């Protein structure tokens, strides 16, 4: 089965779930990194845009907005914004960050904030980053002119990547089950997730969620936030 057909099936299932819920829900079309996760795609922006557009064009028909997921550079963000204009779809930008507070491309958050002040930007979310990194960068978004928030992971490491591992004796490789190579925080319960999310809200965040290794009980704990 080709990727175009699989994407369409996924969209139709999402719409079916929305209808069954009988709730006011928006469906997002996810556009991931076109290379490895947590690693900068350093190709020419035209090539990145071509790859992203192929999937975005399929999803556009069925979704309310696009979600740029776990992206590592401003170049990739620019490509997605270009696509959003071509398809007349707004985009939520999900950016990854390292322990030093920079993007994997080593660009600073301030550089990102400069380019997302765009009419097609729904907001920006720090995607698949640890609780520690999330708290360390919260104040950098105080003057953010679009909605912002956090989608934390609960890996056993605070900076996931191709060489950062939970089990240092067994280096992580692309394709290896990340549960084995990156570990997970079994002691980070729903109450702790709620308390962390509350700090985000107090810091001005309005977009909350969970990424790798978060469970339904974590998301349920923050469902009361308005």
Q: Is the pLDDT of residue 164 over 50?
A: no
- Exposure letters 118-139 (e unless 16+ CB within 10 A, then b): eebbbbbbbbbbbbebbeebbe
| Average confidence (pLDDT) over 24-53 | 92
pLDDT at 158: 83
Q: Is the pLDDT of residue 68 over 50?
A: yes
Rounded Cα gap, residues 117 and 138, in angstroms: 18
Rounded Cα gap, residues 41 and 59, in angstroms: 22
Rounded Cα gap, residues 95 and 124, in angstroms: 7
Q: Residue 22: which domain range?
A: 3-221
* Widest CA span in the chain: 49
- With residues binned 3-state (H G I as helix, E B as strand, rest as coil), the percentages for the chain, rounded to 5, are 40, 15, 45
Rounded Cα gap, residues 200 and 208, in angstroms: 8
CATH number assigned to the domain comprising residue 78: 3.20.20.330
pLDDT confidence bin for 162, thresholds 50/70/90: low
pLDDT at 168: 46
| Average confidence (pLDDT) over 94-110 | 96
- The pLDDT tens digits for 177-220 are 777 778 889 899 999 999 999 999 999 999 999 999 999 999 99
Residue 123 host element (H or E): strand 121-129
Mean pLDDT of the chain: 90
CA nearest neighbour of 166 among 218, 96, 113, 213: 213
Rounded Cα gap, residues 3 and 184, in angstroms: 30
**pTM metric for this prediction:** 0.89
Q: How many domains does the chain have?
A: 1
Whether 63 is in a domain gets the answer: yes
Angle between helix 74-87 and 45-60 (nearest 10): 40
Q: Is the pLDDT of residue 174 over 60?
A: no
pLDDT at 173: 55
CA nearest neighbour of 67 among 196, 209, 220, 204: 209
Is residue 125 within 8 Å of 150, Cβ to Cβ? yes
Whether 118 is in a domain gets the answer: yes
% of the chain at pLDDT higher than 90: 75
| Average confidence (pLDDT) over 153-162 | 84
Whether 226 is in a domain gets the answer: no
Q: How many CA atoms lie within 13 A of 166 on its CB side?
A: 14
């Amino acid at each position: 089965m080709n990727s175009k057909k699989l994407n369409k099936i996924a969209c139709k299932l999402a719409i079916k779930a929305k209808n069954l819920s009988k709730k006011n829900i928006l469906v997002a079309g996810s556009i991931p990194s076109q290379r490895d996760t947590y690693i900068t795609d350093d190709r020419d922006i035209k090539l990145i845009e071509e790859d992203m557009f192929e999937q975005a064009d399929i999803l556009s028909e069925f979704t309310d907005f696009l979600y740029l997921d776990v992206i590592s550079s401003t170049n990739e963000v620019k490509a997605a914004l270009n696509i959003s204009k071509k398809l007349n779809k707004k985009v939520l930008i999900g950016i990854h960050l390292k322990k030093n507070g920079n993007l994997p491309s080593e660009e600073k958050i301030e550089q990102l904030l400069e380019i997302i002040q765009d009419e097609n930007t729904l907001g920006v979310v720090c995607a698949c980053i640890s609780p520690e990194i999330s708290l360390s960068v919260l104040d950098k978004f105080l003057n953010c002119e679009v909605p912002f928030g956090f989608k934390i992971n609960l890996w056993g490491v605070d900076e996931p990547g191709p060489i950062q591992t939970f089990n240092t004796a067994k280096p992580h490789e692309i394709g290896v089950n990340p549960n084995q190579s990156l570990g997970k925080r079994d002691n980070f319960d729903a109450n702790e997730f709620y308390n962390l999310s509350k700090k985000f809200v107090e810091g001005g965040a309005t977009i909350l969620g969970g990424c790798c290794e978060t469970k339904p009980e974590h998301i349920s704990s923050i469902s009361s936030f308005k």
